[in-house]
Structure 1
């Protein structure tokens, strides 16, 4: 069955000319019906083509397809692969948190690509103009639907699918590697029997031999890592000697590099003939690699692959491995989910990994199955060999997993309160009846019906009622006598910013106070999102060096987060903390931005401005006195430091310096012109005291006016007037030109009155403008 015969107008969109047996069997359900489809098939059997067929079915009737990829790295790969659709005149648009988002491109796209997390965020905001496109999708393709069973991400995928079905009622096509209970997923998605496929191992292009190899666990974790490495090389060696290839999965980016270095030495010691140093042409090609360590390693037939490499280096490693010029490849789990890069021998060296937010965790069973499934090269091998290297105490667990697979379970019950609050905040649930209707759209409900011994649906219903009572008591929702449910500001903020409910409560409390920098940083470090962060022994001295003794009250994990935030603001994160710093900092930035919005919503402009400035400093590391420069597009850490060193520390100074001054400070002329233009689009605040008196007699009073003038672009500001530290007035407004503030001058008991006018910018990281005026209080004259 040739592609050109089945979908002639889309033949160029496929990377092959004929459908295989598995694809042929699924074709009628995908192309001849509009039914929801669920297909489980072994890794490397051609599931991607089923996704592409579902997309083609939507495109040929001018529909829009949404492809939900299991991880962010894969969204980029799909974008590159699906240039084929672009060549046919269809638009493919990837929506991720790491890119600038263009709502118009998203709305016009024919194929959208998102992670579950981004789809969750978009659907929560579906009624906003920026994200309204998400309700117009006609088919949703879920790649690797067994992600439902992920403890950390499964509930997100589950609620996204349920929400989309309620909002847009699209066709659902769910694909997966082998799963034990495909019928449960089909029941959840209302896929008929004729559109439910459970393709067995007979559809694997290469047979798979999968087993467990144990090692002797010692007291030293570092030594154990190398014991597992030598065990992995023992398993790979016979295949390498027979001109086969081996793929070894390790737990971290750094481990891929260190393992590759050690493996090169061991391969030389064992005299395994895989080096390619004698190939002059290949030696020349390797000069295109940007990573010097990788450049040296590939000449010995050994390479490493992880998400931190440049796209160029990853692409070259993948291509050379496919060509057989690299024999031994060390990788993180990302490769197992993404690129179709099989090897004769696959070894999972590490079954445990360090997660910056969770500490040491077991590798997900889904990851294990996915990795082992990469064993066997179609067209080259008759059998693939997959091995899990683990401690003897865990051997039976992994043998059972390899032999029987794993049933997909719902993880929604663990996060039910947050997701229920989100649905109420979005307005998709208005009452108790809606809650129960929503519950019946979840995988949790369907799994509970099929496995009552594992799930008790009656207790789930009771739990929902308990959660609703708790949400009401904690101020996230409101109820009325008619069993109606409505969100509060707190509930909406928690949903909009993906906050744990405990974190939202803490932020709410802080927004009612007058916090300083330390209060904000401590609140973020103590957020529930960081509860599982742990500080290893080697990190604790670095944390102590970064923080003062006043932070000893924090738990070790919170102190680690706090130290990373302080180090980020100074641009000096200690080396011992850098491995976890990126993930922790990205999550912290999201939380600081959320806290800033709490201050805005609860009318605390000074707190909002403080959060905006801290967010900018954590992201860029600019000095505190130069943080206002980050409000200018194109000014980050490097340029911010450069300008600050020349005394240009805020937009006003930029305007005064002009292009010539900015060029003298080290900017190119083009950048200087752009930065100056940005500065002119920001407010320029001046405080004019007018006829404000210098002195007043005790007992007298005088009503004066202070003018706050804006000579720049309009902006929302908070204006606060205090006398001797006591607030007299506070006002929030949009200031386009000027405003007058009435100020009473009273001859009080104090000898001096210090009046302070503070103008803050709740939506920008500009430093507050503060002006003071001192009024002397004259002593009362004695009566004559």
Structure 2
């Protein structure tokens, strides 16, 4: 099917043709034939790199041409940024929403395409964003994640709520290959488009004894390293002019492989100097310095412990072909568009708490293998597993290469999933009685799969009992309504169990404590926690002794609960050190984490501090000012003494401390010191910005009555 024949705006066709895209891929053409431009719902379950994003883009532009509005849902913030860039500069207005969960973001409605995470869309529905009613096309990327116990319930409820609100809306689900696509398509009332077609041929094999074993034959790989098969496979790819991705089970393994690969590749490409220098310049940890050294030789590692700027440098270097090999944990396979000639799945066992090392699912293998082969760049792609011995070769073929992807199933009826969703349905007006609540849940994927839905009814009853007992839901006869407390919790987008825990503790405490609040927040279901090693216990016990009286929660008696108590305490210690202005490098070393981990935990705790501040306004007003102050301290990583300075735009933790240590402790003191003195401390550009802000404040402050307004300076740099 020719692109020139498709009913799309002419400017978009011309952009496609200018990129050399003249004919649709077979799965894309099938979507058109199945009624994509006539508003039919679609479930597109096809391999990675088969053109799913273009399917969505064509459908969105078709809607926009008819005055429609489109919502594109992604599972990850990083993926939202990537899609935002991809959809921009094509003649339509594109917006992105991944941030605060208690805002309506009405300005987003001015865009034609809104890219958002599923959690953000759920929060917009709870906060009654007006433009949601204008959505004519909903696209759900990575819809197979409905099977995730973490994200799945949110994805499922967002789809159900959006279809309830906008019954005429078209829905397009984009999915990796899954085992039961007909069931998911049936729930979505969608035409099913499946295919095994790929734009680049994918060869899948198992490496053993210096050969890659394929179903249709073998291929010998030159032995360079006597000890490391993964290095030999990597160098073999590079010798052919390709790049490779190596998937391993842990961050430590990713870093270790990258160091070995850098030593083997020894690239002297002058193009690597700039990204290596950029990484070295900003490196604050040993991990950052190691990454810079690896990149200088043409290798890199990629995992969630890296900071966002570090990840961006690695991804850009790989896309440009400068970095020849990336070793990664499976985060890279979860949607980011970084294909390579060869994908090496070295580690297919992963540690699971309480279960030891377990095989990864076949669907995860297929997701990683799908990264092999760059369209229009590679003649083929290869996905290679590494066997430990000859006996394992056939086993790996059966368990992964020849195995179908697993089925996806609803996770909404799991014990802890429904508390927040039952509350939001009542607080947002989707249900006002128990029957209406159960009737809405009949729209779920779970009930579509299990027609009787008895487990769902029990889970709803359990959630309702908790919400009524904790005064978030009011039950009067048949009627269900949310209390002021329940409405606030729903709007704040926190787990009702977290809210109940925070409020009950604030009620009991008479003396405020930053550490007490922090440990409380880190003990809630919403907060990710660090793991505790046996060697950590002594330091944590010392900390409890040193801060006796400040920690609000008591040590539980049960050993399993003690483990969670210590994990929350260790996480609180890290965050307390951050707010106490401990340097990033020292935090990373002290807690064995990466800058990306610190950023993630600070982001999570900031939201829960904000929520705690809002709850304290309702239940513990005397604590409210202190919590709001500490929220700002945590956001900036500062002690309270720097609060007046960070109110100035452009002044963060480092510049504020530099000013404070030089006796400049407030905006008034900045003015008094003069621009030349301040320039020496924070640089000319920032100093000029700061003084421009202060100048506006001076002009906006009315003079006392009777004062001669002709005296003194008219601006900071000019006398009258």
- Residue 528 (str. 1) matches residue 525 (str. 2): yes
Q: Secondary structure at the match of 1:635?
A: coil
Deviations 1:168-205 (A, max 9, x none): 332110011101111111111111xxx21121x24563
1:175 matched residue in structure 2: 174
The 1-side partners of 2:608 and 2:463 are apart by 24
1:714 matched residue in structure 2: none
Query: Residues 568 and 305 from structure 1, CA distance in 2 versus in 1: closer, same or farther, beyond 3 angstroms?
Result: closer
2:431 matched residue in structure 1: 429
Q: Secondary structure at the match of 2:138?
A: strand
Query: Residues 571 and 204 from structure 1, CA distance in 2 versus in 1: closer, same or farther, beyond 3 angstroms?
Result: same
User: Structure 1 residue 346: deviation in Å?
Assistant: 2.8
Query: Residues 458 and 398 from structure 1, CA distance in 2 versus in 1: closer, same or farther, beyond 3 angstroms?
Result: farther
- Residue 409 (str. 1) matches residue 409 (str. 2): yes
2:655 matched residue in structure 1: 639
Q: Secondary structure at the match of 2:38?
A: coil
Query: Residues 27 and 411 from structure 1, CA distance in 2 versus in 1: closer, same or farther, beyond 3 angstroms?
Result: same
Question: 45-54 vs 544-553, which deviates more?
Answer: 544-553
Is the Cα contact below 8 Å between 2:341 and 2:381 reproduced in 1? no
Q: Secondary structure at the match of 1:160?
A: helix
The 2-side partners of 1:332 and 1:521 are apart by 30
User: Structure 1 residue 485: deviation in Å?
Assistant: 0.7
User: Structure 1 residue 98: deviation in Å?
Assistant: 8.1
2:608 matched residue in structure 1: 591
Question: 606-615 vs 338-347, which deviates more?
Answer: 338-347
The 1-side partners of 2:628 and 2:540 are apart by 25
User: Structure 1 residue 253: deviation in Å?
Assistant: 5.8
The 2-side partners of 1:508 and 1:587 are apart by 18
Question: 175-184 vs 202-211, which deviates more?
Answer: 202-211
2:185 matched residue in structure 1: 186
Is the Cα contact below 8 Å between 2:36 and 2:42 reproduced in 1? no
1:335 matched residue in structure 2: 332
Query: Residues 335 and 142 from structure 1, CA distance in 2 versus in 1: closer, same or farther, beyond 3 angstroms?
Result: same
The 2-side partners of 1:678 and 1:395 are apart by 73
- Residue 438 (str. 1) matches residue 440 (str. 2): yes
Q: Secondary structure at the match of 1:409?
A: coil
Deviations 1:512-566 (A, max 9, x none): 3434114322321322234764213455566567664436947220111121122
The 2-side partners of 1:528 and 1:590 are apart by 13
Is the Cα contact below 8 Å between 1:542 and 1:576 reproduced in 2? no
- Residue 556 (str. 1) matches residue 566 (str. 2): yes
The 2-side partners of 1:474 and 1:396 are apart by 52
The 1-side partners of 2:473 and 2:492 are apart by 16
Is the Cα contact below 8 Å between 1:179 and 1:405 reproduced in 2? yes
Is the Cα contact below 8 Å between 1:95 and 1:101 reproduced in 2? no
2:713 matched residue in structure 1: none
- Residue 75 (str. 1) matches residue 80 (str. 2): yes
User: Structure 1 residue 67: deviation in Å?
Assistant: 1.1
- Residue 470 (str. 1) matches residue 466 (str. 2): yes
Is the Cα contact below 8 Å between 1:478 and 1:485 reproduced in 2? yes
- Residue 484 (str. 1) matches residue 484 (str. 2): no
The 2-side partners of 1:441 and 1:212 are apart by 47
Question: 236-245 vs 439-448, which deviates more?
Answer: 236-245
Is the Cα contact below 8 Å between 1:525 and 1:559 reproduced in 2? yes
Deviations 1:414-459 (A, max 9, x none): 201221112112222111222122112211111223xxxxxx6223
Query: Residues 264 and 657 from structure 1, CA distance in 2 versus in 1: closer, same or farther, beyond 3 angstroms?
Result: closer
Query: Residues 515 and 489 from structure 1, CA distance in 2 versus in 1: closer, same or farther, beyond 3 angstroms?
Result: farther
Query: Residues 104 and 645 from structure 1, CA distance in 2 versus in 1: closer, same or farther, beyond 3 angstroms?
Result: same
Higher Cα radius of gyration: 1
The 1-side partners of 2:678 and 2:53 are apart by 52
Uncovered stretches (5+) of structure 2, i.e. residues with no partner? 210-224, 281-289, 556-561, 703-720
The 1-side partners of 2:31 and 2:473 are apart by 45
Is the Cα contact below 8 Å between 2:102 and 2:493 reproduced in 1? no
1:218 matched residue in structure 2: none
The 1-side partners of 2:26 and 2:672 are apart by 71
Equivalent residue runs for 1:604-683 within 5 Å: 604-650=620-666, 668=684, 669-676=687-694
The 2-side partners of 1:516 and 1:442 are apart by 43
The 2-side partners of 1:352 and 1:607 are apart by 44
Is the Cα contact below 8 Å between 1:359 and 1:534 reproduced in 2? no
The 1-side partners of 2:114 and 2:34 are apart by 22
The 1-side partners of 2:599 and 2:650 are apart by 21
**Aligned with residue 274 of structure 2, among 272, 277, 287:** 287
Name the count of aligned residue pairs: 636
The 2-side partners of 1:502 and 1:101 are apart by 22
User: Structure 1 residue 329: deviation in Å?
Assistant: 2.5
User: Structure 1 residue 11: deviation in Å?
Assistant: 0.9
The 1-side partners of 2:680 and 2:234 are apart by 59
Equivalent residue runs for 1:99-248 within 5 Å: 103=105, 105-126=107-128, 131-169=129-167, 170-191=169-190, 195-199=191-195, 201-203=196-198, 205-209=200-204, 230-233=228-231, 236=234, 239-240=237-238, 243-248=241-246
Is the Cα contact below 8 Å between 1:213 and 1:387 reproduced in 2? no
TM-score norm. by structure 2 comes to: 0.78
Is the Cα contact below 8 Å between 1:568 and 1:618 reproduced in 2? yes
**Aligned with residue 385 of structure 1, among 364, 383, 386:** 383
Query: Residues 65 and 288 from structure 1, CA distance in 2 versus in 1: closer, same or farther, beyond 3 angstroms?
Result: same
The 2-side partners of 1:319 and 1:108 are apart by 33
Query: Residues 35 and 467 from structure 1, CA distance in 2 versus in 1: closer, same or farther, beyond 3 angstroms?
Result: same
Query: Residues 388 and 432 from structure 1, CA distance in 2 versus in 1: closer, same or farther, beyond 3 angstroms?
Result: farther
Query: Residues 462 and 377 from structure 1, CA distance in 2 versus in 1: closer, same or farther, beyond 3 angstroms?
Result: same
2:420 matched residue in structure 1: 418
Q: Secondary structure at the match of 1:592?
A: helix
The 1-side partners of 2:624 and 2:81 are apart by 34
**Aligned with residue 13 of structure 2, among 3, 11, 14:** 11
User: Structure 1 residue 676: deviation in Å?
Assistant: 2.8
Is the Cα contact below 8 Å between 1:212 and 1:395 reproduced in 2? no
The 2-side partners of 1:383 and 1:285 are apart by 25
TM-score norm. by structure 1 comes to: 0.72
The 1-side partners of 2:104 and 2:421 are apart by 27
Query: Residues 247 and 592 from structure 1, CA distance in 2 versus in 1: closer, same or farther, beyond 3 angstroms?
Result: same
- Residue 24 (str. 1) matches residue 29 (str. 2): yes
Structure with the larger strand share: 1
Query: Residues 368 and 611 from structure 1, CA distance in 2 versus in 1: closer, same or farther, beyond 3 angstroms?
Result: farther
RMSD (CA atoms): 3.9
Q: Secondary structure at the match of 1:529?
A: coil
Is the Cα contact below 8 Å between 1:345 and 1:386 reproduced in 2? yes
Is the Cα contact below 8 Å between 2:49 and 2:198 reproduced in 1? no
- Residue 567 (str. 1) matches residue 562 (str. 2): no
2:371 matched residue in structure 1: 374
User: Structure 1 residue 352: deviation in Å?
Assistant: 3.0
Deviations 1:705-754 (A, max 9, x none): xxxxxxxxxxxxxxxxxxxxxxxxxxxxxxxxxxxxxxxxxxxxxxxxxx
